[in-house]
Amino acid sequence: MAFEMFEVLKDFMDAPAVTGFEEQRRKRIIQHFSNYCDSVSVDVIGNVIGTIGKGDRSVMLAGHYDQIGFMVNYIDEKGYAHFSPIGGWDPRVVYGMRVRIWVGDNQNDYLLGVIGAKPAHLTEPAEREKAVQFKDMSID
């Protein structure tokens, strides 16, 4: 049972859910709840509620529904995707990060990319002393 629950939670977390775009994760949770619950509903703010029977006991699975992420603003003539953060990212920790760019409504409709910036050998010494900012990064 513990392994099965781990797999269900992993499946929830693998679904994309950047703030404002949580629909894929919501669908996944509804799908799993439907396997165990007598009824499943979604309230006005997007909480998924599953009900089993009519007892006095309640169980709540609580956690952040959304996740921080990025939004592609434009793709330049060389094919680099320029982006801005959604949520509380620190630009010092994203350089070199592998990312998925969702290009459709299905969780498998994505492109893989890596966040990069101007290579060190092309920067001026003064530039190397500063943390790279989001405006100077792109996804390749």
Query: 84 and 133: one domain?
Result: yes
Burial state string for 87-108 with b = 16 or more CB within 10 A and e = fewer than 16: eeeebeebeeeebebbeeeebe
Give Cβ neighbours of residue 85 (< 8 Å, ≥ 6 apart). Answer: 68, 69, 70, 91, 134
The total domain count for the chain is 2
Domain harbouring 100, CATH code: 2.40.30.40
pLDDT in tens, 59-117: 777 777 788 899 999 999 999 999 999 988 999 899 999 999 988 777 678 899 999 99
In a domain, 64, yes or no: no
Of 101, 136, 93, nearest to 16 (Cα)?
101
In a domain, 88, yes or no: yes
Q: What is the pTM of this model?
A: 0.75
Query: 45 and 78: one domain?
Result: no
Q: Domain range for residue 88? A: 69-139
In a domain, 63, yes or no: no
In a domain, 58, yes or no: no
CA 8 to chain centre: 17
In a domain, 18, yes or no: yes
